[in-house]
Amino acid sequence: MAQRKTESGFPVKPVYDQSDLPGDIDKRTGRPGEFPYTRGVYPTMYTSRPWTMRQYAGFGTATESNARYHQLLEHGTMGLSVAFDLPTQMGYDSDDPVAHGEVGKVGVAIDSLADMKTLFDGIPLDKVSTSMTINAPGSVLLLLYQLVAEEAGIPGSALNGTIQNDILKEYIARGTYIFPPKPSLRLVADTFAYCRAEVPKWNTISISGYHMAEAGATPTQEIAFTLANGVDYVRAAIAAGLAVDDFAPRLSFFFVARTTLLEEVAKFRAARRIWARLMRDEFGAQDPKSMMLRFHTQTAGVQLTAQQPEVNLVRVAVQGLGAVLGGTQSLHTNSYDEAIALPTEKAARLALRTQQVLAYETDLTATVDPFAGSYVVEAMTDEIEAGALALMERVASYGSSVDAIEAGFQKNEIETSAYRVAQEIDSGERVVVGLNRFTIAEEEPYEPLRVDPAIEAAQAKRLAAIRESRDGAAVQAALAELKRAAQGTDNVLYPMREALRAYATVGEVCNALREVWGVYRPVERF
């Protein structure tokens, strides 16, 4: 029988013992809440409070999504996680010809301050934590959120949450970019500075490996390319004049949790250790919070199957267990029907209940880092750390993550891994229950949640009314001020905020920046 290998390609031994542990095990792991944070970023972890339970939601109109958010909060969700439709993610209004056919499909359509008010109507923004999966126009959606809170009498200092705002992984794995890398990094740095002054509790970026993993990255590639991107963000902020300890405590990360539980636990532990040493040794961070790799986890959407979808409930439970054992700060568990369509209300509730069972019916919250000292997990942690550092050195050999992206390095590595996995599934070497093994002759009927195509026309009508009722001259003046700031070195978020306050649309704000910064066109490689 061939020896099993991890997802990252390391051989898995049938038996591990003390000889597999490094001699300096105590130094390499440390204590929970202490450098290098291998065992967790907080001394007590879940023994004092569980992780934040989030559910990723957003579809159709802001009104429909608002209703789902209220349902999730009533069922015990501790934080909201907003999905935006593709036009919003790309900085286009719902009535733009480019947006045709995509409005409200994979998330909620947000075109202006009016939509954002509807989205969070009746939700106490000073009491919940909100995560927004938005990248190229991340600063725009953050400002809309702040303006909604401001109208409710809630200061920026009371807001908690995260914007993904991770543009580099878009060039690698996802594609919802707008501007070229250099102005995109400038916008990220401006957001860091703005939030330090105006929204100090906000996590200004969620540096994401999740989407690279969904595109086919191995666990080692996932953390290597994610942390390498993190290095570029830190360098961009320092180059913009920010001190490392002024912004680094608000950096956060976003990873996947696969069904390969042991390797995933090791991956999270290795990532914390690498980041702590990078921040201390390369960037001279002094604040312990600057060295803590805090992260959100989402269970692996790419591992869900449309065949026998109920089996996904088991997959998600195992994946969630791996995230918790790995020390995540917040968790989203996918709904079992997401391989088919947007999750139904019942499926979303079951996904949340999965987290609640892990938190309140198991003994996972009784002790910190249950796998510490495990022969296999400690050995895997070292293997992943060494592999990730080697990959990060290869990225650095190009000059920076941006240089490696423009050379196509990360994308090529991920696509090679994805192709290998696809071959293994097709050949049956990799078992996927219900797909290539343990299949059934006939699938049971399933009625997915469907988005009404009339939403696009309704959004266009809403936009027309907003443009008719607003002060057009004030909007144009505000957009001109935004372009002036973009042409110079002023922080663009301040004039951007005033444009949005005057009811400039998301598309109009992004178009103003497109006029100054241009758009990114990937180089075709054959």
SS (H, E, C) 62-125: HHHHHHHHHHHHHCCCCEEEEEECHHHHCCCCCCCHHHCCCCCCCCECCCCHHHHHHHCCCCCC
Give CA–CA dist 81/373, Å, rounded: 34
DSSP string, 174-193: I----S-HHHHHHHHHHHHH
Give residue 449's pLDDT: 61
Give residue 451's pLDDT: 66
E-assigned strand segments in 364-426? none
Give residue 342's pLDDT: 74
Give residue 433's pLDDT: 95
- Worst-scoring range by mean pLDDT, 49-53, 168-172, 444-448? 444-448
Rg from Cα positions in the chain:
23
Give CA–CA dist 114/108, Å, rounded: 13
Torsion of CA 407, 408, 413, 415, to 10 degrees: -170
Contact in structure between 219 and 267 (CB atoms under 8 Å): yes
Give, as one character, the DSSP assignment of residue 342. Answer: B
Amino acid code (one letter) for 163: I
Give CA–CA dist 452/463, Å, rounded: 18
Give CA–CA dist 422/153, Å, rounded: 52
Each residue of 414-429: pLDDT tens digit? 999 999 999 999 999 9
Amino acid code (one letter) for 44: T
pLDDT tier, 388 (very low <50, low <70, confident <90, very high otherwise): very high
Is residue 61 predicted with pLDDT exceeding 90?
Answer: no
Which residues lie closer than 8 Å to 448 by C-beta, 6 or more apart? Answer: 337, 340, 341, 342, 344
Tokens of residue 510, six digits: 């992004």
Is residue 450 predicted with pLDDT exceeding 70?
Answer: no
Distances (CA, A) of 326 to 6, 322, 391: 17, 6, 22
Torsion of CA 301, 56, 514, 186, to 10 degrees: -90
Where is pLDDT greater, at 485 or 54? 485
Which residues lie closer than 8 Å to 367 by C-beta, 6 or more apart? Answer: 47
Domains within the chain, CATH numbers bracketed: 25-54+164-427 (3.20.20.240)
Is residue 2 predicted with pLDDT exceeding 70?
Answer: no
Each residue of 117-151: pLDDT tens digit? 999 999 999 999 999 999 999 999 999 999 999 99
Contact in structure between 519 and 175 (CB atoms under 8 Å): no
Contact in structure between 347 and 75 (CB atoms under 8 Å): no
Within 10 Å of residue 489's Cβ, how many Cβ atoms?
11
Phi, psi of 161 (to 5 degrees): 165, -165
pLDDT tier, 442 (very low <50, low <70, confident <90, very high otherwise): confident
pTM: 0.92
Amino acid code (one letter) for 486: A
Q: What is the residue whose two structure tokens read 């004039």?
A: 495
Each residue of 201-243: pLDDT tens digit? 999 999 999 999 999 999 999 999 999 999 999 999 999 999 9
- Name the region of 58 (left: φ>0; alpha: ψ -120 to 50; beta: rest): left
pLDDT tier, 500 (very low <50, low <70, confident <90, very high otherwise): very high
Tokens of residue 313, six digits: 């409930």
Q: What is the mean pLDDT of residues 294-321?
A: 96
Q: What is the residue whose two structure tokens read 């059934």?
A: 440
Give residue 446's pLDDT: 66
Give residue 96's pLDDT: 97
Give CA–CA dist 169/226, Å, rounded: 8
Is residue 1 predicted with pLDDT exceeding 60?
Answer: no
Within 10 Å of residue 397's Cβ, how many Cβ atoms?
10
Q: What percent of the chain has pLDDT over 70?
A: 97
Each residue of 177-211: pLDDT tens digit? 999 999 999 999 999 999 999 999 999 999 999 99
**Greatest extent of the chain over all pairs of C-alpha atoms, in Å:** 74
Q: What percent of the chain has pLDDT over 90?
A: 87
Average confidence score pLDDT of the chain: 94
Pairing between β-strand 160-163 and β-strand 202-203 as defined by DSSP bridges: parallel
Is residue 447 predicted with pLDDT exceeding 70?
Answer: no
Give residue 300's pLDDT: 97
Q: What is the mean pLDDT of residues 245-261?
A: 96
- Worst-scoring range by mean pLDDT, 68-82, 376-390, 392-406? 68-82
Is residue 262 predicted with pLDDT exceeding 90?
Answer: yes
Three state DSSP letters for 409-474: HHHHHHHHHHHHHHHHHHHCCCCCECCCECCCCCCCCCCCECCCCCHHHHHHHHHHHHHHHCCHHH
Is residue 526 predicted with pLDDT exceeding 50?
Answer: no
Which residues lie closer than 8 Å to 293 by C-beta, 6 or more apart? Answer: 37, 41, 253, 271, 272, 275, 276
Give CA–CA dist 132/127, Å, rounded: 16
Within 10 Å of residue 461's Cβ, how many Cβ atoms?
12
Q: What is the residue whose two structure tokens read 């009625």?
A: 447
Give CA–CA dist 29/38, Å, rounded: 5
Pairing between β-strand 330-332 and β-strand 295-299 as defined by DSSP bridges: parallel
Is residue 490 predicted with pLDDT exceeding 80?
Answer: yes
Tokens of residue 239, six digits: 């180059």
Distances (CA, A) of 49 to 43, 46, 330, 380: 12, 5, 12, 28
Q: How far is CA 86 from the centre of its chain?
A: 16
Where is pLDDT greater, at 526 or 278? 278
* Dihedral sign, Cα of residue 57, residue 59, residue 65, residue 71: negative
Give residue 183's pLDDT: 96
Is residue 18 predicted with pLDDT exceeding 90?
Answer: yes
Q: What is the mean pLDDT of residues 389-395?
A: 98
